[in-house]
Every structure is written in C-alpha cells, then in structure tokens.
Amino acid sequence: MWKYILKRLLMMIPVLLGVTFLVFFIMNMTPGDPAAIILGDQATPEAIAQLREELGLNDPLLLRYVRYIVDMLHGDFGESYKNGISVASQVLDKFPNTAILAICGIFVALAIGIPVGIISARKQYSALDNVSMVLSLIGVSMPVFWLGLLLSLLFALKLGWFPSQGMGSGFLPLLRSLVLPAITLGTGSAATVARMTRSSMLEVIRQDYISTARSKGLSEKVITKRHMFRNALIPIVTAVGLQFGHLLGGAMLTETVFSWPGLGRLMIDSLNSKDIPMVLGSVLFMTIMFSFVNLFIDIVYAFIDPRIKSLYKKSGFKKKKAKGVAA
C-alpha cells in the first residue's frame, strides 16, 4: 500500500512538469508585453526595454522555462509582476478561502445528490424519478454564474437574507456569506452526483447478491444501505472527488460573481494583467491539489472494495521492474 502511494507521488512529477511547460508556453505565446502592462500607458519605450531586460524576458523561451523550474525546485515560485509580492504567499493566503467554499459546496452536493440518486434508483421510472432526473439535467446544464446571479438577485438584493458580495469575517457573518456561493457551487455538482448515484445504484440493484440479501429476510432499508450503496460507491466517490478537485482549484465563475477572495479570482485577475508568475503559480497549485485529491480517492477505493486493496498490495515496484526487464 505504501509502495503504491509512493509510486503515485512519483508519477505526479511528470504531470506537474507537463502542466507548467504548457502554461508557460501558452502564456508567452499570447499577445501583450508584460513589461508594458506593468509600467502602464505612460511608459517610455526605454523604460519598457529596461524592464524587459530586468525580468529576463529577452532570453530564449526554453532558457526562461529551465530557470523557472530550477527556481521552483528551490521553493521559489517568483514574484508577482503586478505588486512584487511572492506568488507562494499570495496563493497560500487565498487558499483557505477557496477551501472553505469548496467544502461547503461539496457538502451541499452530497446532501442533495446522494439521497436523490438513491431514491431515483429505488423507484426507477416513477414520477419522482423522472422529475428528479429532469431537474438534475437542468442542474448539470445550467451555467453556474447565471444561477449565482439569480440567487443573488432574489436572496440578497430582493429579500436581503444574505450578503451578495464578499466574505464575512467572524463565524456567523462568514456562514451567512457562504450560503449563496455554496448553493451555487453545490447545485451543479449535486446534479452530477445524483445522476452518477442513480446509474451506479441501478447497476447494483440487479446483481445476484441483492437477491441473496433479500432471501435472508433483510429489510429493504438494510439492503439499500449495506448491500447496494456500498457496492455502488466507487463511481460515486470518483465523481465526488473530481468535483471536489475542481472546486479546490477555485471556482472562478462563482468566486467572481460573489466577489469571493479565493484562488479562482486571483487567477482571473492575474490572467487579465498577464501576470505570468502568478498564473503559473496558481495553476501549479491547482494541479497539485487535483492530483492529491485523485490520489486520496484512489486510496479510499481500497477501503471501499477489498478486491482493489489486494490489487494495490500486489502492485509494488518489483513487479514493474520485472516487467520492464522482460520487455
């Protein structure tokens, strides 16, 4: 098991290299000179040229990339072009805000998605099933920012129940300011989770071991919980994990609509000002979060399904090496 985790951690290195490489090159390919953006409209060409020299923008792209990677390996993610504050400190500063929102969002998604999915599967083709599946289809296809705007119009502007902008400080204000963005984030995810739960449950419902469970004289409640749901969990956990990974990276649209001071907004702002180190830093951070969530899910699999656990136990380094030699 530990070997498996170590292997997965090592596999993250090429992923991170690939992501930074891509982002680095794309950012440099886009039009606009960072030096000109930093110095503003009144800058003289001489000043721009001087700044370009200072930032090392005149060096070949590949050299700049290698320089960036070497700095990164020393724990230096560079400074923001815009305000000169270190990228790492800014990202880490915003991350807790995003994490709170992501956790609340995924909580909303689970609280709605899983019960709806289970009930729909148990009562397949009933009116209840049809209604909830249509609703979830709407939920999946609805643009998040639009839902956010609607919620904010109704509950913040018209009814005044919750703030429409920003993040409250102190426990209760924070909670109040979380409600609308969390519902906005959670609704889309809830729809995905509900659909995944339903289809995964339906697959399990027809299995022979469910007949066995029924023939034991267990109640439907126990059968649903103990026999169906646990077996249906893997695809559900996968879906929830992917959603959570996305949310942790900062929900750009939701954070923008509600002016939530999180990673998503940080990234949008840096993209607009072509703040390359900032963009790179936040993308890198998102990738790391996403990879960790994925790894965590794969570890959770082992606790859900004993067959996967025994598979992990077998997949150490030795086997791989033996295979490589044979090939």
Residue 10 CA, chain-centre distance (Å), reads 21
The distance of closest approach from Cβ of residue 207 to other proteins in the complex, given in angstroms and rounded to an integer, is: 7
CA distance 268 to 255: 10
The distance of closest approach from Cβ of residue 2 to other proteins in the complex, given in angstroms and rounded to an integer, is: 21
* Site residues (vs other proteins, CB under 8 A): 207-209, 211-220, 222, 226-227, 230-231, 304-307, 310
Q: Which residue has the tokens 């070949």?
A: 60
The distance of closest approach from Cβ of residue 225 to other proteins in the complex, given in angstroms and rounded to an integer, is: 12
φ and ψ at residue 86, rounded to 5 degrees = -65, 140
The distance of closest approach from Cβ of residue 310 to other proteins in the complex, given in angstroms and rounded to an integer, is: 7
**DSSP labels, 229-249:** IHHHHHHHHHHHHHHHHHHHT
Nearest to other proteins of 230, 319 (CB atom):
230
Nearest to other proteins of 313, 321 (CB atom):
313
Nearest to other proteins of 60, 306 (CB atom):
306
Nearest to other proteins of 123, 321 (CB atom):
123
The distance of closest approach from Cβ of residue 309 to other proteins in the complex, given in angstroms and rounded to an integer, is: 9
The distance of closest approach from Cβ of residue 241 to other proteins in the complex, given in angstroms and rounded to an integer, is: 18
Where does residue 43 fall: left (phi above 0), alpha (psi -120 to 50 degrees), or beta otherwise?
A: beta
- Identify any residues that bridge with 86 across adjacent strands, giving them in sequence order: 79
Nearest to other proteins of 212, 315 (CB atom):
212
Q: Tokens representing 68?
A: 């960036």
Nearest to other proteins of 165, 207 (CB atom):
207
Burial class (CB in 10 A: 0-12, 13-18, 19+), 202: middle
C-alpha closest to that of 251 among 171, 324, 180:
180
CA distance 238 to 245: 10
Which amino acid type is present at position 29? M
